[in-house]
Amino acid sequence: MSESGGYVIEDLSVGMSASVSKTITDADIVMFAGVSCDTNPVHLDEEYASQTMFGGRIAHGMLTAALVSAVLGTKLPGPGTIYLSQTMKFKAPVKPGNTVKATCTITELVPEKKRVIMSTVATVGDTVVMDGEAGLMVPSRG
C-alpha cells in the first residue's frame, strides 16, 4: 500500500479486480446535469424522452463512466492513482432506478513506467451498458 492507502505497482497483478455498485436515482441525474451542464432533455424531460428510441428518460453516459472512476480512485488501484486515459463504448441505456455495477480488472502491468491497463465494464443485471479500457499511473514503493 502507498502512503495514501492505495496499492503500489509492486503489489498489483494481472487479474486483480474490484467493483462499485450504485442505484441511479432521479436526484443523481438532475445533479449530474447541473454539474456537467448537460441538460439534454433525454435525461431530464420524461415527455420528450418518451418519444425517443429509449421510451423514457436515461442517465447520462458519463454518470455511468464516473462509477469506473470511483473504482479506480477508491478501490483498485485506489488513492494515489492518476487516471491517464479511458476508451469507452456505450452499449445500452441506464434508466432511473437501475443499479449499475462498474468492474475494473487489471489486464496489463508496465512496472518500469508505473503504468496499469484495466478493462472497465459497467452492467445493469446481466446487460453490459458500457465497456472500455483505462490507462493509469500508480505509485511505487521506491
Q: For the domain that residue 111 is a member of, what is the CATH number?
A: 3.10.129.10
| Structural domains of the chain, count | 1
Residue 49 placed within a domain: no
* Other residues' Cβ atoms within 10 Å of the Cβ of residue 130: 23
Residue 15 placed within a domain: yes
Which amino acid, one-letter code, is at 85? S
pLDDT at 6: 86
- Pair 129, 123: CB distance under 8 Å: yes
DSSP secondary structure string for all residues of the chain: --TTSS--GGG--TT-EEEEEEEPPHHHHHHHHHHH----HHHH-HHHHTTSTTSS----HHHHHHHHHHHHHHTSS-TT-EEEEEEEEE-S---TTPEEEEEEEEEEEEGGGTEEEEEEEEEETTEEEEEEEEEEE-----
The residue to which cell 458500457 is assigned: 130
pLDDT at 3: 64
Residue 94 placed within a domain: yes
User: From edge to edge, which strands make up the β-sheet containing 115-124?
Assistant: 17-23, 99-110, 115-124, 127-137, 82-90
Residue 44 placed within a domain: no
pLDDT at 2: 60
Instruction: Going residue by residue through the chain, which has 142 residues, state the pLDDT in tens, using 9 for 90 and above.
Output: 666 678 999 999 999 999 999 999 999 999 999 999 999 999 999 999 999 999 999 999 999 999 999 999 999 999 999 999 999 999 999 999 999 999 999 999 999 999 999 999 999 999 999 999 999 999 998 7
Provide the domain limits for residue 105. Answer: 9-24+60-137
> Is 0.95 surpassed by the pTM of this model?
no
As a whole number of angstroms, the distance between CA 64 and CA 52 comes to: 20
Residue 45 placed within a domain: no
As a whole number of angstroms, the distance between CA 95 and CA 75 comes to: 25
pLDDT at 4: 65
